[in-house]
A = this chain, B = another copy of it.
Amino acid sequence: MEDRAGAPMPEEIGAEECLTLISPGGVGRVGFGAPSGPLILPVNYTVHQGSVLFRTAFGGPMDQQLDTGVRGVEFKIAFEVDHIDPASRQGWSVLIQGAAHRISSEEELTAAKAAAVEPWAGGERRLYIRITPVQITGRRIVRS
């Protein structure tokens, strides 16, 4: 469907297809609030049992923010993946809104390590984070 100017209307993508689109893993972006305002940081991620896993540094911006929430209230985070071709102006984007947790139990940590999510940047990035999706939405632009 196109609007009056001939631009294609974005199509909604269902949650299940969104998960399929992001399941190969790769580069995504996390977004969360910090004292200086919202942050967006690229991460190398993997999808494991319906959750998004990535690694970051102990003491880094995310680690610090994970402790600022009121006790018992989950730390809210956004996770976005897109695949957009600037030449054809087509593509899709998926947004996951959910809660972020440090992976701390031995059992979870073993599973996360087996899922082999590797940060690209060097340095100590031993903190494994799991994002549990609460809402999954996606949009696609296709040109005929």
Contacts and interface: CB of A to CB of B under 8 A. Distances in A.
A27 B134 CA distance: 26
Contacts of A40: 29, 31, 40, 78-80, 95
Secondary structure at the A interface, as helix, strand, loop or mixed, is: strand
A42 B120 contact: no
A13 interface: no
A112 B123 CA distance: 42
A78 B39 contact: yes
Interface residues of A, number: 45
- The number of times this chain is found in the oligomer is 2
B9 A77 contact: no
A56 interface: no
B37 A78 contact: yes
Contact of A78 (B2, B31, B76, B120): B31
Contacts of A39: 31, 78, 95, 97
Contacts of A79: 40
A7 interface: yes
B86 A27 contact: yes
Q: Which 5 A-B pairs have the closest CB atoms?
A: A7-B122, A37-B76, A3-B122, A31-B31, A40-B80
